[in-house]
Amino acid sequence: MTPGEPGRQPATTRTGTRAPVAGEPPSTPEESAFAPDESAFAPDRAPAARGTWSSLRPLLLRVHFYAGILIGPFILVAALTGLVYTATPQLESVLYQHELTVTPNGAPDSLASQIAAARRAVPDGTLESVSPAPGRTDSTRVVFSTPALPADYSRTVFVDPYDHKVLGTLTTYGQWLPVRAWLDSLHRTLHLGEFGRNYSEIAASWLWVEVLGGLALWIGAPRNRRRLRRALLPGGGAKGRRRTMSWHGAVGLWVSIGLLGLSATGLTWSAHAGANIGAIKDSLGGSTPAVTTSLPAQGGGSSGTEAGKTGATDKAGKDVGYDAVVAAAHDAGLRGLLVITPPADAGTAYVVKENTRSWPERQDSVAVDPATGKVTDEVRFADFPLLAKLTRWGIDAHMGLLFGLANQIALALLAIGLIAMILWGYRMWWLRRPTRSDGFALGRPPARGAWRRTPGGVLAPAVVVVAVVGYYLPLLGLPLLVFLAVDLAAGAVRRRRAGAPA
Amino acid sequence: MIAATGLRWILTAVFALSALHGGWQVARPGYASARRVDHGLHTLMGLAMIAMVWPWGMDLPAAPQVVLFGAGAVWFARTAPSLLRSGSWLKSGAVPLPHVVMTAAMAWMVAVMASAAMSAGHGGGGASGDMPGMIMSGGSGTASMSLTGTGERLTAGLLAVVLAVVGLRWLGRAFDRARTARATEPGHDGAGSEEAAFGLACHAAMALGMAAMFVLLL
């Protein structure tokens, strides 16, 4: 057995390894626990007494193999679309240079005049937010909702801050420009709407299983010499399937941490698991804090919502305007890209949020009383719960925003590594196929019945843990349940056929 | 009562497995009466746990259930003295302690929920009113009620741990019986061992399901 090869070869494989012949008596007492069809090509023939790992390894190998074969396409599509997504900032700067950049020309106009110009460009729009130009060569963004647009999409007007000339109007998804919105939707849903989210959730739910399982198999693979080198570096003189496995394992080892991060952050976005993760995060006190937009009471004595209403009523009609609100936010220490949301109704405040999503992140926010221009509430990123900070950093790293170009390159390398690993995995499967039989044949899977080698004391807690995780990650649990049902049915049919009289 | 629809159905399936297995065993010919009573109690426990998962289960009278499962605990404990004397207390596959704990826990769970409901004048299954000693919305979003009393929470936590251990032990033994079924019975198809494994798995499902219910009450 080649070091690092986690499975026995089939009888006549492309690599030429000799394996047991059907009907051959089992070589160890343990094999008698398996039907002939199940004992053949068993991935590990070590006696169970060798320990928990040797008993678990065949089971893990089987899970890794089948998840790779069946879930691999989902992960491959996510990796391919993710790879394209990494180039988004460069695409945006090329495609939308006219809207995004301006030539500095003296002092900027007031925000009020810029917003007025934007309103004329989208007369039927309702103002959602304003982002003043963060730099001297940046344009101002004024975002409107319009009745004709689908949910979460807006019309964003780009205004030259120096002459309040409208540079262009684009349909945006949140803050994302059309090309990023399109690629984002491709990566998340394949443009199939809510139903399409299931594809990326399946990929995210299973990626970490494949990575952790693969890591355990690779690190725990039997190697007689040069263990570290063979684990860390591909090649090593191996040929054929062993060489492919060497690349699959070694590259997998290097990219594993990044892939685990992508899987975890991807799950936080998902529809089903994301809701569960959000609930767990909230119960642990890790929810992202937000400023209170209700205006404070005037004159004391009342509190809560009623106070807010009273305060608003007293000052109804007064509004200091966007320029004063931005000035108040600057006074409160907010810098960089700001997003100003107008009051939702007469009883609420403006909200100004920092939205710098590169390191060091700036995510402070303040509420500003429209009547007085004074800050009524503030939330500092430094005071966020650790879980909320980790979520923010994780999401922005996943999107390639946190560390700029280096982040994009790292993500692209991860995507390429993942694509290569999936293709190597399929190649290994292909190389396992019988070559002496006539016609088309698939590579043989790891032997059935691997669980029979695992002691109940190990299997029982593992099953319970998988059940709990499968509940919280339903697109891990449900496909696993379906696979188990199909596998059990297939096993029953095979046993019945084997037991049927000739 | 479980608020999350998915979990409600999962637990229903888990308890139904145990109840169906018990009912099947009761109906099988050739069993002694005492064994039929054992399995009959398992069936009733499964059904009662299913009721406890659903809102309509809150309408069922609690007192008969408490009496029934209290008596069930005594019934399962009846063989303890002889097993103790024979020294096979822990070795025997029919060791009664887990069953005693499960039926007693069942009686306690029904009682604690019913007493809280009575204090609140709760008469319907809509669970719209607040119960003293319980939060009706549930902290986790999966249960629609959770215990607030320290003693009750400690008891529920302890029972959850004990039942989880019992369930894992049963499940482990079920796997061991199943995985060695064909190896240990040369010349046989292993049906006896597989049936025994299935029985153990049903016990495990009941214990683990109850442990989950106690966790949700915390």
What CA–CA distance (Å, rounded) separates A404 from A358? 7
Three-class secondary structure assignment of A425-486? HHHHHHHCCECCCCCCCCCCCCCCCHHHHCCHHHHHHHHHHHHHHHHHCHHHHHHHHHHHHH
Percentage of chain B lying above the pLDDT 70 cut: 74
The segments of chain A whose pLDDT lies below 50 read 1-49, 299-314, 502
Task: Find all residues with CB under 8 Å of A301, minimum gap 6, and list them.
Answer: none
Where on the phi/psi map is residue B20: left (φ > 0), alpha (ψ -120 to 50), or beta?
alpha
Determine the longest span between alpha carbons in chain B, in angstroms.
63
What CA–CA distance (Å, rounded) separates A360 from B122? 54
State yes or no: pLDDT of B68 exceeds 70. Answer: yes
The larger pLDDT score, comparing residue B137 to residue B58, is at B58
Angle of the A240-269 helix axis to the A193-219 helix axis, nearest 10: 130
Could you give the angle at the alpha carbon of A201 between the alpha carbons of A197 and A205, nearest 5°?
175
Could you give the angle at the alpha carbon of A215 between the alpha carbons of A213 and A219, nearest 5°?
125
What CA–CA distance (Å, rounded) separates B22 from B49? 14
State yes or no: pLDDT of B119 exceeds 70. Answer: no
Residues of A with CB under 8 A from a CB of B: 30, 32-33, 35, 279, 283, 451-457, 459-461, 463-464, 471, 474, 499
Task: Identify all chain A residues contacting B7, using CB atoms and an 8 Å cutoff.
Answer: 471
Task: Find all residues with CB under 8 Å of B66, minimum gap 6, and list them.
Answer: B107, B110, B111, B114
Cβ atoms of A135 and A345 within 8 Å: the answer is no
Give the distance from residue A283's alpha carbon to the nearest chain B alpha carbon, in angstroms: 7
Amino acid at A93: S
Confidence category of residue B190, pLDDT binned at 50, 70, 90: low
Give the distance from residue A117's alpha carbon to the nearest chain B alpha carbon, in angstroms: 48
Sign, CA dihedral A76-A78-A84-A90, equals: negative
Helix (H, G, I), strand (E, B) or coil at A350: strand
Q: Provide DSSP, B152-180.
A: HHHHHHHHHHHHHHHHHHHHHHHHHHHHT
**Chain B residue closest in CA terms to A282:** B140
What CA–CA distance (Å, rounded) separates A357 from B149? 45
Give the distance from residue A260's alpha carbon to the nearest chain B alpha carbon, in angstroms: 26
The pLDDT value recorded for residue B185 is 52
Angle of the A474-499 helix axis to the A272-283 helix axis, nearest 10: 130
The pLDDT value recorded for residue A31 is 29
Cβ atoms of A60 and A454 within 8 Å: the answer is no
User: Mind listing the pLDDT tens digit for each residue in B23-62?
Assistant: 999 888 888 888 888 899 999 999 999 998 888 888 888 8
What CA–CA distance (Å, rounded) separates A138 from B132? 60
Task: Identify all chain A residues contacting B204, using CB atoms and an 8 Å cutoff.
Answer: 460
Q: Which of B172, B179, B186 sits opposite A451 (nearest CB)?
A: B179
Helix (H, G, I), strand (E, B) or coil at B62: helix
Cβ atoms of B177 and B73 within 8 Å: the answer is no
The pLDDT value recorded for residue B158 is 95
The pLDDT value recorded for residue A379 is 97
Give the distance from residue A501's alpha carbon to the nearest chain B alpha carbon, in angstroms: 14
Confidence category of residue B152, pLDDT binned at 50, 70, 90: confident
What CA–CA distance (Å, rounded) separates B64 from B44? 12
User: Mind listing the pLDDT tens digit for each residue in A65-102?
Assistant: 999 999 999 999 999 999 999 999 999 999 999 999 99
Task: Find all residues with CB under 8 Å of A257, minimum gap 6, and list them.
Answer: none
User: Mind listing the pLDDT tens digit for each residue in A413-446?
Assistant: 999 999 999 999 999 999 988 877 677 778 888 8
Helix (H, G, I), strand (E, B) or coil at A30: helix
The pLDDT value recorded for residue A22 is 35
The pLDDT value recorded for residue B67 is 92
Closest CA to A363 of A254, A275, A290: A290
Task: Identify all chain A residues contacting B6, using CB atoms and an 8 Å cutoff.
Answer: 471, 474
